[in-house]
Chain A
Amino acid sequence: MELSKSIEDVLSKAVRILPDDVEKAIREALKSERDSKGRLVLEKIVQNIEVSSSTTLPLCQDCGMFYVWVEVGDRARFSMSALEDEIYKGCENAAKNAFYRKSIVNEPVFERDNSKTNLPPVINYELKRGSSDISIHFLLKGFGSENCSSVRMINPTAGEEGVVNAVLDMMKKAGGKPCPPVFLGVGIGGTMDRAAMLSKKALMRDVDSFNPDKRYHLLEERLIREINALGIGPGGLGGDNTCLSVKIETAPTHIAGLPVSLSVNCWADRKATLIIPGGYDGISSSTI
């Protein structure tokens, strides 16, 4: 199968059907929720998941902006231009054939003219040593929640408490706006933009994954606890379940800084992954 067709297929599914780990987290939240309004919101979310998975309707009218994270093995066949052509084509065809709302404007300030294709996607690349594959991770990034994402440059001596306070403050300001219960990615370290990219990378991890460094794993769990203690609740109407997942990714940083970035995703945490064994250069045949 053509690579663009495989991309179209995974994106056509992702706009209607949540990944298993995400749906499981939402169903568990409904079981644990004690607040009556919180339960009502979660019941509607579960009904919505059932409608979209059994019809051709997207989960949400905001079908998001295509966000793509490509991991390229150092032993993989790789042509960046050939791969990008396939990604663009796959995204465009999915947006057209799977009834995505066209939500992308070509120019951000003056014209704000709709691209009518949902192109371009945002694409990042990362080298993965020891691998001969290319892994493409897709996120359909809705903007009600993206408007609640941000970066804080906190004091380098602020430590764990500083990180926790920054994230809690961002979540308090977000309140019900990002359609909770939310899924969060936290990027810590690097530069301002590196932290922001790491927060998106973190958001792409599975719900049941955890940071391999025990200290950060504990910090992921602490953030979930403290965010849920805010009581924002499903739909912002109050309750036990404000946040279902926090994933942290870190990078080395400068002695004078401690960048902390939060990427907020709504309950419709729409993701897909495609692995191309051997890589892709547009010339040799690939099996997907």
Chain B
Amino acid sequence: MAFLHLPFEEKELEKINAGDEVILSGKLYVGRDQVHLRFKELLDKGEKLPIDFMGNGIYYMGPSPAPDGYEIGACGPTTSQRMDPFSPLMLSKGLRVMVGKGPRAKAVIEAVKDYHGLYLQAFGGCGALYASCVRKKSVVAYPELGPEALLLLEIENFPTICMIDSRGNYLPSAVFV
């Protein structure tokens, strides 16, 4: 079992191997389809992103509404595949840690290797469990996107499995059949 605090320190990612259970804590950005599309549009226009990726990770997720007394509602991972067209670009702009579920395109695996990043899988459908790992939630940008807004979470004991490590090694289930 490995522990990773975000934002991570240099060399931290190298200690994690494909197949390791990785427990996350610290700060984690949240963005899915629409956030990726908007980031790409900003970059295409040569504009700055609303966040600095350096040392940070992004979680592919769209939560349910927070019940009274909770920071966030159910917040398990969504399918990473839909972010594949954008991920190599995000990695080239400093993103290193991606958290989602399911296999990735070959180009994403190559980019993870080239930029020494990580792809972690969260446990699919375990939305209530992940809600209990979130200490704080804030909306960073795009509140009009509702459950697709860009968020920043403070997390504790957030369980994942490493699917692709910084050397480009990956689990068989990290690629499409």
Interface residues of A (CB under 8 A from B): 16, 37, 40-41, 44-45, 47-48, 51-52, 55-63, 99-103, 114, 142, 144, 147, 172-173, 175-177, 179, 232, 235-238, 266-268
Contact = CB atoms under 8 A, between A and B. Distances in A.
Given A45-B123, A60-B74, A144-B79, A51 B102 contact: no
Contacts of B128: 16, 48, 51-52, 55, 57-60
Interface stretch (B37-45, B48-56, B64-72): B64-72
For B64, B121, B131, which residue has the most chain A Cβ atoms within 10 angstroms?
Answer: B64
Contacts of B65: 99-101
Interface of B: 19, 21, 61-68, 70, 73-76, 78-79, 81, 101-103, 121, 123-129, 131-132, 146-147, 159, 161, 171-173, 176-177
Contacts of B125: 45, 48, 59-60, 142, 179, 266-268
A59 B161 contact: no
21 contacts: A16-B128, A37-B19, A37-B161, A40-B21, A45-B123, A47-B129, A48-B123, A48-B129, A57-B67, A58-B73, A61-B73, A63-B74, A99-B64, A101-B64, A101-B65, A114-B146, A172-B177, A173-B177, A176-B103, A179-B101, A235-B123
A142 B63 CA distance: 14
A57 B69 CA distance: 11
B77 to A, nearest CB: 9
Nearest to B123: A44
Given A44-B123, A99-B64, A175-B177, A237 B74 contact: no
Contacts of A175: 102-103, 173, 176-177
A59 B123 CA distance: 12
Contact of B127 (A41, A48, A232, A238): A48
A59 B75 CA distance: 9
